[in-house]
Structure 1
Amino acid sequence: MQAVIQKSTVADGVVIEVSTTFFPAAIQPGTNGRAPDTILFSSDAVFFYCHRSSVLSRSTNSFGNLISLAQELTNSSELSSNSSSGGTRSNLPTFALSEVSSVINLMLHIVYGLSSQRFAPDLDTIELSLRALEKYGIPAPDEAAEIWTVLLHHAQTQPLRAYAIAAGHAMEAICVRISPYTLKHSLTGVTEGDALTMGPLYLRRLFFLHLGRKDALKRVIEKPPAAHRPLSTCSPEDAMQIVQAWEVAVANIIVLPMPQCVSEDELRNIFATVVRRRRMCLECLASVRARVSTVIADWEAIKKTI
């Protein structure tokens, strides 16, 4: 993620990469204007300048016991104290992390409560950042945090993966909001990794949603239109043809690739075959239309979330 870094020239013309948000002269919220006092160094060699108090105040394990145990990467005499980006301030304690810069960037944005939307983090970055937070003893952000809004955006195109990430952190409200998006996708798309991330509870709820809606659809559509009183213009054979046509329409709906998310328009189009190219009396026609309207209303009322 190139937007994360900027080039900075230090002593002897050496060029290093520094975060565009967490650089030496940056003023971060909640710090009373204090300058950074700690450097985090990513596995892809990017420097992040942060505040030890901001990091440790959120951590329950001294930032994975790293800040108290890790050794500084550089000696303060090795780097110049100034650079074109506002000074490298190399006399600060520096700690090497195993995460790449895009992950550390998102993690620190969460710690400081900053917006990360301009970086457009993908699902891999979001998932790895949440894992990093857990690793360093920092609780996952609450459900109102921006990261979940970004995750919901990804859910429109990758709902199963997004659901797994939210479920892995027991974000109930987020899982509920994502779950309708999953209905357009087969559960065969749930990878072993996603299943492990979700855990048994959220995995079971996802399967119950999909299978439950399929069963509910069968109950909603199986009953044929009501028969009317005998008429000289409409024989029992005519009425039986309508029932048979309804059963064919029901079968065509059940075998749809994704019956759990069949739309109102799809239902109307399929049930239209009951009356299409078929002579029927006005009472039969009214009965079919009334039954289709009931089906649409009942299907719309079926729960779409876990």
Structure 2
Amino acid sequence: VLFHVHQRRPLKAPFNDFNELLRNPDSCITVPETSNLINIMLHAVYDISCSPFQPSIDTLMDAVRLSPKYDLQVKYISSSLPLFDDIRHRMPLLTYVVASSHEFEDLAIIASVHFLALDISTMSDEMVESINPIYLRRLFDLQTSRVNAFKRLLSVPPESHLATPECDFVAQKSLTRSWAFYADMTAGTIESTFQTLDSDVPCRL
């Protein structure tokens, strides 16, 4: 595959002569990478989205991993550029791992938005070995803080209200006791309990 590139474009970018290849006096340069990877990196240099080529997320991540070799700096995967948009919504856990290993902060942050329901145990051994330890700690802290926030929300029982024929003071106290008694229940139990309350508690206030 042949790529026709303006030589001054990579040189104007903060590249190390494209891994010193541009120091070659020949106008035709051979690179060992596949055309898919080079295509993605050149699109990043030109600030053009590569989405028309529909690269897989694995190919995009391979291009990100390869970027340090050609000194493709963090600015090319910042939140305002096309390559970022090509990646951001696809396989957030893999994206986070790769972004962490190269300290692409913006990409890691946007990937973490999708971690609300993430089961960390689904991380493969390869991911665990590749992830930056600092980012792994952030991931655990994020999960812990969200679980604690959810617990705080559920720890507050429903507010009481004036007695009605359908829900008097005794019924409200019973609901409050049940709420406090089941404070440590699992997510599945919470769902089934709410379904029971919906059918057994006549109060709609």
TM-score interval, smaller chain: 0.7 to 0.9
User: Aligned to 2:114, what secondary structure does the other structure show?
Assistant: helix
Cα distance in 1 between the residues matched to 2:8 and 2:201: 78
Q: TM-score, normalised by structure 2?
A: 0.76
One-letter amino acid of the counterpart of residue 206, structure 1? L
Q: Is the 8 A contact 2:95 2:107 kept in 1?
A: no
State the Cα deviation string for residues 180-231 of structure 1 (Å, max 9, x = none). Answer: 212222011223443454412222222111111112212221243467899x
Distance in 2 (alpha carbons) for counterparts of 1:183 and 1:228:
33
Closer/same/farther in 2, CA of residues 244 and 67 from structure 1, 3 Å limit: same
Shift of 1:278: 4.9
Structure 1 residue runs of 5 or longer lacking an equivalent are 1-45, 73-91, 260-265, 280-284, 290-306
The answer for the alignment partner of 2:100 in structure 1 is 167
Residue in 1 that maps onto 2:83:
147
Q: Aligned residue for 1:104?
A: 38
Aligned residues: 200
Q: How much has 1:149 moved relative to structure 2? A: 0.7
Compute the displacement of 1:151 (Å).
1.0
2:190 paired with 1:256: no
Q: 1:108 Cα shift? A: 1.1
Alignment-mate amino acid for residue 85 of structure 2: T
The answer to whether the 8 Å contact 1:245/1:273 transfers is no
Amino acid at match of 2:18: F
2-structure distance, mates of 1:127, 1:199: 15
Q: Which deviations, in whole Å up to 9, do the C-alpha atoms of 1:19-39 show, x marking residues without a partner? A: xxxxxxxxxxxxxxxxxxxxx
Bigger Rg, which one: 1
Question: Shift in Å at residue 277 of structure 1?
Answer: 2.4
Whether the 8 Å CA contact 1:246–1:274 is kept in 2: the answer is: no
Kindly provide the amino acid, as one letter, of the partner of residue 189 in structure 1. T
Deviation of 1:247 after TM superposition, in Å, equals 4.1
1:220-259 to 2 correspondences below 5 Å: 220-225=153-158, 241-247=174-180, 250-252=183-185, 255-256=186-187
Q: 1:164 to 1:245 in 2, by over 3 A?
A: same
- Cα displacement string for residues 31-74 of structure 1 (whole angstroms, at most 9, x for unaligned residues): xxxxxxxxxxxxxxx222323332233254222233436xx9xx
**Counterparts of 1:219 and 1:125 in 2: how far apart (Å)?**
41
Question: Displacement of 1:161 after TM fit?
Answer: 1.0
Identical positions, percent: 25
Q: Give the alignment partner of residue 5 of structure 2, picking from 18, 42, 50.
A: 50
TM superposition shift of 1:136:
1.3
SS in 2 for 1:216: helix
Question: What is residue 146 of structure 2 aligned with on the other side?
Answer: 213
SS of 2:139 mapped into structure 1: helix
Q: Aligned AA for 2:86? A: V
**Closer/same/farther in 2, CA of residues 225 and 52 from structure 1, 3 Å limit:** closer
Q: Which has the higher strand share?
A: 1
Alpha-carbon spacing, 1:275–1:112, altered in 2? closer, same or farther (3 Å): closer
Quick one: which of 55, 59, 64 aligns to 1:121?
55
1:84-130: CA deviation from partner (whole Å, max 9, x where unpaired): xxxxxxxx543332211100111111122233110122222212222
Q: Is 1:194 matched with 2:149?
A: no
**Residue 133 of structure 1 corresponds to which residue in structure 2?**
67
